[in-house]
Amino acid sequence: MSLKGLIQEMRGELGSISRKGFGYGRTRSQRVVQDTCVPVDAFKQSCWASMPPELLRDVLMRIEASEHTWPCRKNVVACAGVCRNWREIVKEIVKVPEVSSKLTFPISLKQPGPRGSLVQCYIMRNRSNQTYYLYLGLNQAASNDDGKFLLAAKRFRRPTCTDYIISLNSEDVSRGCNTYIGKLRSNFLGTKFTVYDAQATNPGAQVTRTRSSRLLSLKQVSPRVPSGNFPVAHISYELNVLGSRGPRRMHCVMDAIPASAVEPGGTAPTQTELIHSNLENFPSFSFFRSKSIRSESLPSSHKEGLLVLKNKAPRWHEQLQCWCLNFNGRVTVASVKNFQLVAAPENGPAGPEHENVILQFGKVGKDVFTMDYQYPISAFQAFTICLSSFDTKIACE
Protein backbone atom coordinates (compact mmCIF):
# COMPACT_ATOMS: atom_id res chain seq x y z
CA MET A 1 0.00 0.00 0.00
CA SER A 2 1.29 3.49 -0.86
CA LEU A 3 1.93 6.14 1.81
CA LYS A 4 -1.06 8.12 0.50
CA GLY A 5 -3.24 5.04 0.90
CA LEU A 6 -1.99 4.52 4.46
CA ILE A 7 -2.89 8.10 5.36
CA GLN A 8 -6.39 7.78 3.88
CA GLU A 9 -7.01 4.52 5.75
CA MET A 10 -5.73 6.03 8.98
CA ARG A 11 -8.01 9.06 8.58
CA GLY A 12 -10.98 6.75 8.17
CA GLU A 13 -10.24 4.97 11.42
CA LEU A 14 -9.38 8.22 13.20
CA GLY A 15 -12.71 9.68 12.16
CA SER A 16 -14.62 7.09 14.17
CA ILE A 17 -12.26 7.52 17.12
CA SER A 18 -12.57 11.30 17.18
CA ARG A 19 -16.36 11.09 17.08
CA LYS A 20 -16.50 8.56 19.91
CA GLY A 21 -13.62 9.76 22.06
CA PHE A 22 -13.64 13.52 21.60
CA GLY A 23 -17.29 14.45 21.45
CA TYR A 24 -17.60 15.79 17.91
CA GLY A 25 -21.13 14.57 17.44
CA ARG A 26 -22.43 16.82 20.20
CA THR A 27 -23.82 20.30 20.23
CA ARG A 28 -21.43 23.19 19.79
CA SER A 29 -21.49 24.16 23.48
CA GLN A 30 -20.32 20.67 24.40
CA ARG A 31 -17.32 20.55 22.05
CA VAL A 32 -14.22 20.61 24.18
CA VAL A 33 -10.90 19.09 23.18
CA GLN A 34 -9.84 16.90 26.08
CA ASP A 35 -6.08 16.55 26.51
CA THR A 36 -6.31 12.93 27.64
CA CYS A 37 -5.37 9.53 26.28
CA VAL A 38 -8.15 7.36 24.92
CA PRO A 39 -7.42 3.61 24.84
CA VAL A 40 -8.35 2.15 21.46
CA ASP A 41 -8.23 -1.65 21.37
CA ALA A 42 -8.95 -1.72 17.65
CA PHE A 43 -5.76 0.17 16.91
CA LYS A 44 -3.68 -2.05 19.18
CA GLN A 45 -4.82 -5.08 17.22
CA SER A 46 -4.38 -3.53 13.78
CA CYS A 47 -1.37 -2.96 11.53
CA TRP A 48 -0.72 0.45 13.13
CA ALA A 49 0.60 -1.15 16.31
CA SER A 50 3.48 -2.78 14.44
CA MET A 51 4.24 0.07 12.05
CA PRO A 52 7.95 1.05 11.94
CA PRO A 53 8.55 4.22 13.99
CA GLU A 54 10.05 6.11 11.01
CA LEU A 55 7.01 5.40 8.84
CA LEU A 56 4.61 6.20 11.67
CA ARG A 57 6.26 9.56 12.25
CA ASP A 58 6.12 10.35 8.54
CA VAL A 59 2.40 9.52 8.38
CA LEU A 60 1.60 11.59 11.48
CA MET A 61 3.63 14.53 10.16
CA ARG A 62 1.68 14.47 6.89
CA ILE A 63 -1.64 14.37 8.72
CA GLU A 64 -0.60 17.29 10.94
CA ALA A 65 0.56 19.32 7.95
CA SER A 66 -2.62 18.72 5.94
CA GLU A 67 -5.20 19.38 8.68
CA HIS A 68 -4.79 23.15 8.98
CA THR A 69 -8.10 24.21 10.54
CA TRP A 70 -10.94 22.93 12.68
CA PRO A 71 -12.95 20.74 12.48
CA CYS A 72 -10.50 18.72 10.34
CA ARG A 73 -7.77 19.26 12.92
CA LYS A 74 -9.62 16.91 15.26
CA ASN A 75 -7.78 14.09 13.48
CA VAL A 76 -4.50 15.38 14.91
CA VAL A 77 -6.00 15.35 18.41
CA ALA A 78 -7.35 11.84 17.82
CA CYS A 79 -3.85 10.64 16.89
CA ALA A 80 -2.56 11.90 20.25
CA GLY A 81 -5.26 9.90 22.01
CA VAL A 82 -4.42 6.50 20.55
CA CYS A 83 -1.63 5.52 22.93
CA ARG A 84 1.33 6.96 24.81
CA ASN A 85 3.75 6.36 21.93
CA TRP A 86 1.55 8.17 19.42
CA ARG A 87 0.93 10.93 21.93
CA GLU A 88 4.63 11.66 22.39
CA ILE A 89 5.24 11.73 18.64
CA VAL A 90 2.30 14.09 18.01
CA LYS A 91 3.42 16.40 20.82
CA GLU A 92 6.84 16.65 19.14
CA ILE A 93 5.30 17.31 15.73
CA VAL A 94 2.71 19.91 16.74
CA LYS A 95 4.39 23.30 17.09
CA VAL A 96 3.40 26.06 19.51
CA PRO A 97 0.98 28.74 18.21
CA GLU A 98 3.85 31.23 17.97
CA VAL A 99 5.30 29.14 15.13
CA SER A 100 2.31 27.31 13.66
CA SER A 101 -0.50 29.88 14.22
CA LYS A 102 -2.69 26.90 15.17
CA LEU A 103 -4.61 26.05 18.35
CA THR A 104 -4.58 22.28 18.73
CA PHE A 105 -4.47 21.16 22.37
CA PRO A 106 -5.80 22.95 25.50
CA ILE A 107 -2.25 23.97 26.43
CA SER A 108 -2.26 26.12 23.27
CA LEU A 109 -4.63 28.48 25.09
CA LYS A 110 -1.88 29.25 27.63
CA GLN A 111 0.85 29.76 25.01
CA PRO A 112 1.62 33.05 23.21
CA GLY A 113 -0.14 33.60 19.90
CA PRO A 114 1.53 33.81 16.48
CA ARG A 115 3.94 36.57 15.50
CA GLY A 116 2.77 38.99 12.85
CA SER A 117 -0.81 37.74 12.51
CA LEU A 118 -3.93 37.89 14.68
CA VAL A 119 -5.84 34.82 15.86
CA GLN A 120 -9.49 35.63 15.19
CA CYS A 121 -11.91 34.60 17.93
CA TYR A 122 -15.26 35.75 19.21
CA ILE A 123 -17.06 35.86 22.55
CA MET A 124 -20.71 34.95 23.11
CA ARG A 125 -22.41 36.47 26.17
CA ASN A 126 -25.28 34.76 27.97
CA ARG A 127 -26.99 37.46 30.02
CA SER A 128 -29.34 35.07 31.83
CA ASN A 129 -26.60 33.16 33.68
CA GLN A 130 -23.74 35.69 33.41
CA THR A 131 -21.59 33.30 31.38
CA TYR A 132 -19.19 34.10 28.54
CA TYR A 133 -17.98 31.65 25.89
CA LEU A 134 -14.84 32.04 23.78
CA TYR A 135 -14.78 30.45 20.33
CA LEU A 136 -12.18 30.20 17.61
CA GLY A 137 -13.68 31.76 14.50
CA LEU A 138 -13.64 29.43 11.49
CA ASN A 139 -14.53 32.17 9.01
CA GLN A 140 -14.41 35.94 8.77
CA ALA A 141 -17.88 36.46 10.27
CA ALA A 142 -18.77 35.44 13.80
CA SER A 143 -21.72 33.06 13.52
CA ASN A 144 -23.89 31.39 16.13
CA ASP A 145 -23.51 28.08 14.31
CA ASP A 146 -19.82 28.23 13.50
CA GLY A 147 -16.84 28.14 15.82
CA LYS A 148 -14.57 25.95 17.90
CA PHE A 149 -15.17 26.23 21.64
CA LEU A 150 -12.09 27.30 23.60
CA LEU A 151 -12.95 28.69 27.06
CA ALA A 152 -15.88 29.62 29.28
CA ALA A 153 -16.14 32.15 32.11
CA LYS A 154 -18.83 32.75 34.70
CA ARG A 155 -19.35 35.95 36.66
CA PHE A 156 -19.73 35.75 40.46
CA ARG A 157 -20.72 38.98 42.17
CA ARG A 158 -19.52 39.39 45.78
CA PRO A 159 -20.12 42.20 48.31
CA THR A 160 -16.80 43.93 47.63
CA CYS A 161 -15.52 42.44 44.35
CA THR A 162 -16.41 40.44 41.26
CA ASP A 163 -14.85 37.13 40.19
CA TYR A 164 -14.83 35.61 36.71
CA ILE A 165 -14.08 31.89 36.99
CA ILE A 166 -12.53 30.49 33.80
CA SER A 167 -12.85 26.85 32.74
CA LEU A 168 -12.05 24.56 29.81
CA ASN A 169 -15.52 23.02 30.15
CA SER A 170 -18.48 24.94 28.77
CA GLU A 171 -20.91 22.87 30.86
CA ASP A 172 -19.15 23.27 34.22
CA VAL A 173 -17.88 26.74 35.12
CA SER A 174 -18.11 26.32 38.87
CA ARG A 175 -15.68 27.21 41.62
CA GLY A 176 -14.79 23.56 42.20
CA CYS A 177 -14.62 22.16 38.67
CA ASN A 178 -11.57 20.13 37.72
CA THR A 179 -11.16 22.13 34.49
CA TYR A 180 -10.54 25.44 36.26
CA ILE A 181 -7.52 27.20 34.74
CA GLY A 182 -7.68 30.70 36.20
CA LYS A 183 -9.80 33.65 37.22
CA LEU A 184 -10.22 37.41 36.95
CA ARG A 185 -10.93 39.47 40.08
CA SER A 186 -12.00 43.12 40.24
CA ASN A 187 -12.21 45.71 42.98
CA PHE A 188 -15.52 47.19 44.14
CA LEU A 189 -15.56 49.98 41.52
CA GLY A 190 -14.58 47.70 38.66
CA THR A 191 -11.55 49.87 37.87
CA LYS A 192 -8.75 47.48 38.89
CA PHE A 193 -8.47 43.82 37.98
CA THR A 194 -6.02 41.01 38.70
CA VAL A 195 -5.63 37.99 36.43
CA TYR A 196 -4.72 34.73 38.19
CA ASP A 197 -3.40 31.59 36.55
CA ALA A 198 -3.96 28.22 38.22
CA GLN A 199 -0.36 27.25 37.53
CA ALA A 200 2.92 29.11 37.34
CA THR A 201 3.78 30.71 34.02
CA ASN A 202 7.49 30.70 34.84
CA PRO A 203 9.65 29.20 37.62
CA GLY A 204 9.94 32.53 39.42
CA ALA A 205 6.19 33.14 39.74
CA GLN A 206 4.93 33.87 43.23
CA VAL A 207 1.74 32.22 44.40
CA THR A 208 -0.91 34.35 46.08
CA ARG A 209 -1.61 32.68 49.40
CA THR A 210 -5.28 32.64 50.30
CA ARG A 211 -7.06 31.15 53.28
CA SER A 212 -8.22 28.15 51.23
CA SER A 213 -4.79 27.50 49.78
CA ARG A 214 -3.30 27.46 53.30
CA LEU A 215 -5.92 24.90 54.32
CA LEU A 216 -4.97 22.75 51.36
CA SER A 217 -1.29 22.96 52.29
CA LEU A 218 -2.05 21.80 55.83
CA LYS A 219 -4.03 18.85 54.47
CA GLN A 220 -1.14 17.91 52.15
CA VAL A 221 -3.37 17.16 49.20
CA SER A 222 -2.20 15.90 45.83
CA PRO A 223 0.49 18.07 44.23
CA ARG A 224 -1.57 18.14 41.02
CA VAL A 225 -4.15 20.31 42.81
CA PRO A 226 -3.15 23.99 42.48
CA SER A 227 -2.37 25.35 45.96
CA GLY A 228 -2.91 28.97 45.02
CA ASN A 229 -3.39 31.53 42.30
CA PHE A 230 -0.48 33.02 40.37
CA PRO A 231 -0.94 36.69 39.39
CA VAL A 232 -0.07 37.08 35.69
CA ALA A 233 -1.56 40.48 34.84
CA HIS A 234 -2.91 43.66 36.41
CA ILE A 235 -5.51 45.72 34.54
CA SER A 236 -6.51 49.25 35.50
CA TYR A 237 -8.99 51.76 34.07
CA GLU A 238 -8.42 55.47 34.54
CA LEU A 239 -11.05 57.32 36.55
CA ASN A 240 -13.06 59.89 34.62
CA VAL A 241 -13.41 62.44 37.44
CA LEU A 242 -14.19 65.35 35.08
CA GLY A 243 -16.86 63.48 33.14
CA SER A 244 -15.20 64.21 29.80
CA ARG A 245 -16.33 62.41 26.66
CA GLY A 246 -14.17 59.72 25.19
CA PRO A 247 -13.38 56.02 25.27
CA ARG A 248 -12.18 54.21 28.33
CA ARG A 249 -8.46 54.37 29.00
CA MET A 250 -6.87 51.19 30.30
CA HIS A 251 -3.42 49.87 31.18
CA CYS A 252 -2.43 46.21 31.43
CA VAL A 253 0.76 45.20 33.19
CA MET A 254 1.72 41.67 32.15
CA ASP A 255 3.56 40.28 35.18
CA ALA A 256 5.08 37.31 33.37
CA ILE A 257 6.01 38.93 30.04
CA PRO A 258 9.09 41.13 29.65
CA ALA A 259 8.82 44.38 27.68
CA SER A 260 11.49 43.07 25.31
CA ALA A 261 9.07 40.37 24.07
CA VAL A 262 7.63 42.76 21.46
CA GLU A 263 11.06 43.63 20.08
CA PRO A 264 12.68 41.67 17.24
CA GLY A 265 14.11 38.48 18.73
CA GLY A 266 12.28 38.96 22.02
CA THR A 267 10.71 35.99 23.80
CA ALA A 268 7.83 35.40 26.20
CA PRO A 269 7.40 32.55 28.72
CA THR A 270 5.65 29.52 27.21
CA GLN A 271 3.91 26.86 29.27
CA THR A 272 4.47 23.33 28.01
CA GLU A 273 2.07 21.29 30.14
CA LEU A 274 -1.45 21.89 31.34
CA ILE A 275 -2.07 20.59 34.85
CA HIS A 276 -5.70 19.85 35.57
CA SER A 277 -6.98 20.20 39.11
CA ASN A 278 -9.06 17.42 40.62
CA LEU A 279 -11.29 18.51 43.47
CA GLU A 280 -13.67 15.55 43.53
CA ASN A 281 -12.18 14.31 46.79
CA PHE A 282 -12.11 17.78 48.34
CA PRO A 283 -15.57 19.29 47.74
CA SER A 284 -15.42 21.54 50.79
CA PHE A 285 -12.30 23.39 49.68
CA SER A 286 -12.56 26.55 47.61
CA PHE A 287 -9.70 28.27 45.84
CA PHE A 288 -11.39 31.61 45.47
CA ARG A 289 -12.22 32.93 48.91
CA SER A 290 -9.41 34.86 50.50
CA LYS A 291 -9.19 36.77 53.77
CA SER A 292 -8.55 39.96 51.87
CA ILE A 293 -10.69 40.33 48.78
CA ARG A 294 -9.17 43.57 47.62
CA SER A 295 -7.80 43.56 44.09
CA GLU A 296 -4.06 43.58 44.38
CA SER A 297 -2.10 46.38 42.74
CA LEU A 298 1.40 46.03 41.43
CA PRO A 299 3.97 48.44 42.92
CA SER A 300 5.35 50.84 40.35
CA SER A 301 8.90 49.65 41.08
CA HIS A 302 7.91 46.14 39.98
CA LYS A 303 6.60 47.37 36.59
CA GLU A 304 10.09 48.05 35.30
CA GLY A 305 11.02 45.65 32.55
CA LEU A 306 7.49 44.24 32.26
CA LEU A 307 5.27 44.50 29.21
CA VAL A 308 2.66 47.23 29.57
CA LEU A 309 -0.28 47.40 27.18
CA LYS A 310 -2.24 50.61 26.63
CA ASN A 311 -5.11 51.82 24.48
CA LYS A 312 -4.38 52.77 20.92
CA ALA A 313 -5.45 56.40 20.64
CA PRO A 314 -8.72 56.77 18.67
CA ARG A 315 -9.57 59.70 16.43
CA TRP A 316 -12.70 61.84 16.51
CA HIS A 317 -14.89 61.50 13.41
CA GLU A 318 -16.70 64.79 12.76
CA GLN A 319 -19.37 63.36 10.47
CA LEU A 320 -20.20 60.38 12.66
CA GLN A 321 -19.66 62.37 15.85
CA CYS A 322 -17.90 59.51 17.60
CA TRP A 323 -14.45 58.15 18.41
CA CYS A 324 -13.17 55.77 15.74
CA LEU A 325 -10.53 53.04 15.45
CA ASN A 326 -9.67 50.93 12.42
CA PHE A 327 -10.67 47.37 13.26
CA ASN A 328 -10.33 46.24 9.63
CA GLY A 329 -13.98 45.24 9.45
CA ARG A 330 -13.89 43.07 12.58
CA VAL A 331 -16.07 45.44 14.65
CA THR A 332 -19.41 46.76 13.38
CA VAL A 333 -21.22 48.21 16.42
CA ALA A 334 -20.11 51.32 18.31
CA SER A 335 -19.58 50.57 22.01
CA VAL A 336 -17.62 51.95 24.93
CA LYS A 337 -16.29 48.40 25.39
CA ASN A 338 -14.41 48.42 22.06
CA PHE A 339 -10.63 48.79 22.33
CA GLN A 340 -7.26 48.08 20.75
CA LEU A 341 -4.16 47.50 22.85
CA VAL A 342 -0.57 48.18 21.83
CA ALA A 343 2.70 47.91 23.74
CA ALA A 344 3.68 51.03 25.69
CA PRO A 345 7.33 52.05 25.26
CA GLU A 346 9.45 51.77 28.41
CA ASN A 347 11.58 54.83 27.83
CA GLY A 348 11.97 57.23 24.96
CA PRO A 349 9.94 57.40 21.73
CA ALA A 350 7.81 54.52 20.50
CA GLY A 351 9.26 52.25 17.82
CA PRO A 352 7.47 50.41 15.00
CA GLU A 353 6.88 47.42 17.27
CA HIS A 354 4.75 49.64 19.51
CA GLU A 355 2.28 50.33 16.69
CA ASN A 356 1.25 46.71 16.23
CA VAL A 357 -2.13 45.84 17.71
CA ILE A 358 -1.60 42.99 20.19
CA LEU A 359 -5.25 42.66 21.22
CA GLN A 360 -8.46 44.10 19.81
CA PHE A 361 -11.98 43.62 21.09
CA GLY A 362 -15.27 44.95 19.76
CA LYS A 363 -18.98 44.48 19.40
CA VAL A 364 -20.64 42.93 16.35
CA GLY A 365 -24.06 42.02 17.78
CA LYS A 366 -26.24 42.29 20.86
CA ASP A 367 -24.28 39.61 22.69
CA VAL A 368 -21.48 38.82 20.21
CA PHE A 369 -18.00 40.35 20.37
CA THR A 370 -14.85 39.69 18.35
CA MET A 371 -11.49 39.10 20.06
CA ASP A 372 -8.27 39.04 18.04
CA TYR A 373 -4.85 38.59 19.62
CA GLN A 374 -1.24 37.83 18.75
CA TYR A 375 2.20 37.36 20.28
CA PRO A 376 3.26 37.79 23.07
CA ILE A 377 -0.04 37.20 24.92
CA SER A 378 -2.05 33.96 25.01
CA ALA A 379 -5.73 33.27 24.38
CA PHE A 380 -6.27 32.90 28.13
CA GLN A 381 -4.68 36.28 28.89
CA ALA A 382 -6.54 37.96 26.02
CA PHE A 383 -9.86 36.49 27.21
CA THR A 384 -9.39 37.78 30.76
CA ILE A 385 -8.51 41.29 29.53
CA CYS A 386 -11.67 41.32 27.41
CA LEU A 387 -13.76 40.09 30.32
CA SER A 388 -12.68 43.15 32.31
CA SER A 389 -14.35 45.33 29.67
CA PHE A 390 -17.74 43.73 30.40
CA ASP A 391 -17.73 44.88 34.02
CA THR A 392 -19.71 48.05 34.82
CA LYS A 393 -17.44 51.05 35.37
CA ILE A 394 -19.53 53.99 36.53
CA ALA A 395 -16.47 55.97 37.59
CA CYS A 396 -14.81 55.61 34.18
CA GLU A 397 -17.62 56.77 31.92
Sequence-separated (6 or more) residues with CB below 8 Å from residue 68: 102
Return the SS3 of 61.
helix
Q: The domain containing residue 356 runs over which residues?
A: 119-202+227-264+303-389
Are 31 and 147 in the same domain?
Answer: no
Encode pLDDT of 306-346 as tens digits: 999 998 888 887 887 777 888 888 998 888 889 999 998 86
Are 253 and 154 in the same domain?
Answer: yes
Are 72 and 126 in the same domain?
Answer: no
Are 256 and 381 in the same domain?
Answer: yes
Of 25, 59, 94, which one is at a domain's C-terminal end?
A: 94
Number of folded domains in the chain? 2
Are 51 and 16 in the same domain?
Answer: yes
Residue 37 has pLDDT above 60, yes or no: no
Residue type, 241: V
Please report, for the domain that includes residue 337, its CATH number.
3.20.90.10
Residue 195 has pLDDT above 90, yes or no: yes
Are 255 and 335 in the same domain?
Answer: yes
Residue 299 has pLDDT above 90, yes or no: no
* Residue 58 included in any domain: yes
* Residue 295 included in any domain: no
d(CA 171, CA 192) in angstroms, rounded, equals 29
Model confidence band, residue 281 (pLDDT cutoffs 50, 70, 90): very low
Higher pLDDT, 10 or 28: 10
- Residue 230: beta bridge partners? 197
* Residue 127 included in any domain: yes
Question: For the whole model, what pTM was predicted?
Answer: 0.80
Are 326 and 370 in the same domain?
Answer: yes
Higher pLDDT, 76 or 245: 76
Residue type, 397: E
